[in-house]
């Protein structure tokens, strides 16, 4: 799937200059307490399922869309986990972005986890004790989800 068309069009005008983008990130748990991860095709690293919202798209439905597009898993949102700024992130093609990430705790509903688009090399469920190496922000997000008390995280 790659970058949404609106970003491709912006990049034609501004090149690799920094963009401030709305992002979503989900900690998707199944009934066994495992978390859904994707091995990203752009970096090769394992990560939570993330995405960029389309202009005017609501964060919750946008994340549910991203989860399905990338993994073929149908999920539902249980809680707003937090809001954070992430970046700057420099992608392999030298595009630079900062993200306003809206994070959710989600629950598996149906589907078999598999690579469902070109954004992932692999998709799998992982037990918490068997997580692959993750970037610090993704690991911190999982850790917050595991101890979530109903109060969304944000920088105070």
- Any alpha helices (H) in the chain, and if so which ranges? 5-14, 59-71, 136-146
Q: What does each C-alpha distance from 148 to 113, 119, 139, 140, 141 come to in angstroms?
A: 25, 29, 14, 12, 10
Residue 154 placed within a domain: no
- Any alpha helices (H) in 28-155, and if so which ranges? 59-71, 136-146
Which portions of the chain are predicted below pLDDT 50?
A: none
Segments forming the whole domain that contains residue 13: 5-149
Residue 10 placed within a domain: yes
Strands 96-110 and 49-52: unpaired
Of 18, 9, 40, 8, nearest to 94 (Cα)? 18
Each residue's pLDDT tens digit, 16-52: 999 999 999 999 999 999 999 999 988 889 999 999 9
Give the tokens for residue 124.
């799998």
Residue 155 placed within a domain: no
Element (H, E) at 9: helix 5-14
Residue 58 placed within a domain: yes
Domains identified in the chain, total number: 1
Distance CA 27, CA 78 (A): 10
pTM, full prediction: 0.93
Helix, strand or coil for residue 96?
strand
The per-residue pLDDT for 119 is 87
* Bridge partner list, 6: none
The per-residue pLDDT for 142 is 98
The per-residue pLDDT for 70 is 95
The per-residue pLDDT for 1 is 54
The per-residue pLDDT for 143 is 98
Residue 156 placed within a domain: no
Q: What is the CATH number of the domain that holds 111?
A: 3.90.79.10
Residue 106 placed within a domain: yes
The per-residue pLDDT for 42 is 82
């Amino acid at each position: 799937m790659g970058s949404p068309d609106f970003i491709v069009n912006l990049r034609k005008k501004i090149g690799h200059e920094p963009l401030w983008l709305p992002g979503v990130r989900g900690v998707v748990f199944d009934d066994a307490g495992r978390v859904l991860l994707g091995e990203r095709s752009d970096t090769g690293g394992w990560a939570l399922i993330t995405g960029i919202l389309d202009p005017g798209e609501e964060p919750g439905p946008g994340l549910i869309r991203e989860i399905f597009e990338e993994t073929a898993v149908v999920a539902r949102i249980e809680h707003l986990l937090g809001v954070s700024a992430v970046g700057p992130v420099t992608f392999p093609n030298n595009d630079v972005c900062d993200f306003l990430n809206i994070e959710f705790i989600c629950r598996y509903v149906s589907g078999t986890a598999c690579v469902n688009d070109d954004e992932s090399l692999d998709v799998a469920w992982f037990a918490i004790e068997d997580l692959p190496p993750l970037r610090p922000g993704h690991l911190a997000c999982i850790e917050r989800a595991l101890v979530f008390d109903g109060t969304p995280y944000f920088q105070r």
